[in-house]
Structure 1
């Protein structure tokens, strides 16, 4: 049975109650605490009209400059959002105080309506999150990822051949090489150009980019809005989310069950998902399938679109800065020569190339707004109050 859809009258009545209660709480809290700086809100409703719903990272960066602070704050009817605009602030909170900021904010739009609750990295901090992390890091921690290098080399060689055969399609070639490499590591599927599974994960991953880049959705400030009928004025976000959820569900489920079928037949090749199934104890249950499906799908989705974005930014950087491209090429010619291709073993001998790649990541991160965290207890930063339960966003820009 699906969730109960509230009538328009019920929605308006609940919103009125929330509005009244929050108004009193808003005024009381404002008089007691010094929050980080931010745009001045209106009486009672606060910053409802200041919440950025598009290009949020640009808005937050502008606020940081305007108020001369690396941390900015808004509040809309009791919903607090704190944005960290510098590495200094991010390290001070996330790295130095992990016991307070390890939890993730449970976005209604992103997780519940769009279906990204399946991504284990978005789970609330606790035993369930730790179990997912342990299983995932057995294969993807820094000491273990070298096992995937042969698969990456195969994808690299395919990419180079595609670039020679079809240079005008370099964007599509990049997408294929990245998608096929990750598909092979997670599910041991051998992909060919145009593979439906790569297209599926690209489309699903784009939904995460669209939601995370947009800014803040009002349904995350007023969760009651999730009960609006899809035809109701202003409920376009629900229609959009329904389409996203269909893609996300299919991306997590389809490749997992395809691999599991091959695994039961004994025809599957070793990979991350194969290790999960091989090491599993106990009977085959839907709960175990959900666990493995979410682990595998998260690894696949998290790497594909972000890696493609980094590669495209790299191409842009080299076009804009030909002197950097020439310096990197000179180093490659000197260290590697022209009789072979670079290998992972050359990494430490190519500081110029490594520096270029790191600068690309700094210059234009693939996720300009990191997934939001949540403060598990109240805190203070440079004299400013951060309340318990506040949404904390990291803005690399």
Structure 2
């Protein structure tokens, strides 16, 4: 048995043992917090010690399956820690949007925030003054009215991505990531990244890769039982503490190293205008102000370089499974562009089907399938159920965007579902999947930049390339796995035109 497996076995043993004692001691206390005659939503039964088996991978699929038994609102009481799973857009809108004053905070994330050091990321911060100051500064630079200011940069880097794809199409996963990284690095730090092996991009990607492993709520038991963060590193089953210690170094490097670089460039007079230079020039020089600027600059990369990339990868996957839809999008592009130039943002009104492709990518494979957890700050009641203060709320975005009542044939990639908004509104189906960007006061403030990046990337790739499945040694197409990771994603990008250099 491997050391990781032994650690997991030891951890489960200690959780069950210690958790049972804690649950028994606190049972009456937690019961007393539920007023007499009130009921909590249905959910899987826990043992007499407060234990229930929860998934640690593909949680959104398990919770969607639970919907068949328990409905749209599912309650799990785990060792006194109440968890509420939302499986419908209506319930999420009713609670997270309309009752935002009670549902806009974030739960403590022991693994990600406390142990790995991501507490500077305002998407994970509790609702309060610190969150407001970070979001306000971020929104000044990523407000929808300012999104057009970044379009020339996005266009430049998208054309660079096309050149890279034409030169080395097999590395399309890397080229997509590099393009998105180049945009956000220039916006945040005024840094023009290297074609290969950029130090600052590598630092950030290493940290984000670690975050990707730990970021989905419930991947580590400590998310459900915060007291485990106090377990010593040497304790049996505490490999998560040792892992978090290493990942914390990556997190700090992502934040500190590029900020040091931009300060040195300012001193040397070589800095390009960017978020960091603009804010540092008008800063009062206090440690608090500098820390805020440092955090917000890093947030730009964390928010833009990873989520946008995932959505574009979904686009490549979708084109391999939907060749007819790919041809329809390319026909639209050919009618508008005449096969003589590349798309620009001004073409957007004339390319409605490309818009539909963008929205379907966000719906079909949502970047954050389980959303980001919310936290209840006041006792509440919904649909006759009592929701206690201190409850962690998990919006199952994947389930909402694959609800066949609202998205017919939800597992099919079908951009045409968004083509007729008036008919959709009458039928109550195929709403634009804004849930992919979060809910209420915690909705992603950088969504306008992301939508522009997705649109221009998808339009340009389809204008220049055919995307198809990889063939096996016998020449037969290999069916892609729709539950992909970047290492598994494979396709063929074939140039549509003989004179490639005419376009970029």
Q: TM-score, normalization: structure 1?
A: 0.91
Write out aligned runs for 1:301-312 (5 A): 301-312=302-313
User: In the alignment, is residue 41 of structure 1 matched against residue 46 of structure 2?
Assistant: yes
Q: Given the alignment, which residue of 101, 113, 116 partners 1:114?
A: 116
Q: What residue number does 1:97 align with? A: 99
Q: 2:29 aligns with which of 20, 25, 37?
A: 25
1:251: how far off?
Answer: 0.4
Instruction: Confirm whether residue 86 of structure 1 aligns to residue 91 of structure 2.
Output: no
2:339 is paired with a residue whose SS is coil
Whether the 8 Å CA contact 2:203–2:250 is kept in 1: the answer is yes
Q: What secondary structure, in the 3-state scheme, does the structure 1 residue paired with 2:397 have?
A: coil
Classify the secondary structure of the residue corresponding to 1:298. helix
In structure 1, the residue matched to 2:316 is 315
Assess if the C-alpha contact under 8 Å between 1:212 and 1:371 holds in 2: no
Aligned counterparts of 1:32 and 1:242: Cα–Cα separation in 2: 46
Residues 145-198 of structure 1, C-alpha deviations (whole Å, 9 max, x = no match): 211111111111110100111111111111111111111111111112221211
- Is 1:363 equivalent to 2:364 in the alignment? yes
Q: For structure 1, which runs of at least 5 residues remain unmatched after alignment? A: 1-10
Q: Which has the larger displacement, 149-158 or 19-28?
A: 19-28
CA drift of 1:59 comes to: 1.6
Off by >4 Å, runs of 4+ in structure 1: 11-17, 26-32
2:217–2:223 Cα contact (<8 Å) kept: no
Whether contact under 8 Å (2:217, 2:373) holds in the other structure is: no
Q: Does 1:266 align with 2:244?
A: no
1:58 alignment counterpart:
61
1:183 to 173, 185, 189: 185
2:288 corresponds to: 287
| In structure 2, C-alpha distance between the alignment counterparts of 1:40 and 1:249, rounded to whole Å | 41
CA distance in 1, matches of 2:354, 2:72: 31
In the superposition, the TM-score normalised over structure 2's length comes to 0.72
**CA 1:345/1:109 → structure 2, altered by over 3 Å: closer, same or farther?**
same
- How far, CA to CA, are the matches of 1:325 and 1:272 in structure 2? 37
**Judging changes above 3 Å, is the alpha-carbon distance between structure 1 residues 171 and 248 closer, same or farther for their aligned structure 2 residues?**
same
1:229-261 CA deviation, whole Å, 9 max, x = no partner? 212111121122112211111101111111111
Distance 1:268 1:302 in 2: 23
Quick one: structure 1 residues 392 and 384, their matched pair in 2 at CA, closer, same or farther if it must change by over 3 Å? same
Following superposition, the deviation at residue 29 of structure 1 comes to 5.3
How far residue 16 of structure 1 moved from its aligned partner, in angstroms, is 7.3
- After TM superposition, list the pairs within 5 Å mapping 1:190-229 onto structure 2: 190-193=192-195, 194-213=197-216, 215-229=218-232
Calculate the aligned-residue CA RMSD, in Å.
2.0
Partner of 1:243: 246
Q: Whole-Å Cα distance in 1 between the matches of residues 302 and 239 of structure 2?
A: 25
Inter-partner Cα distance in structure 1 for 2:211 and 2:260: 22
Give distance in 2, aligned partners of 1:309 and 1:168.
17
Whose helix proportion is higher, 1 or 2?
A: 1
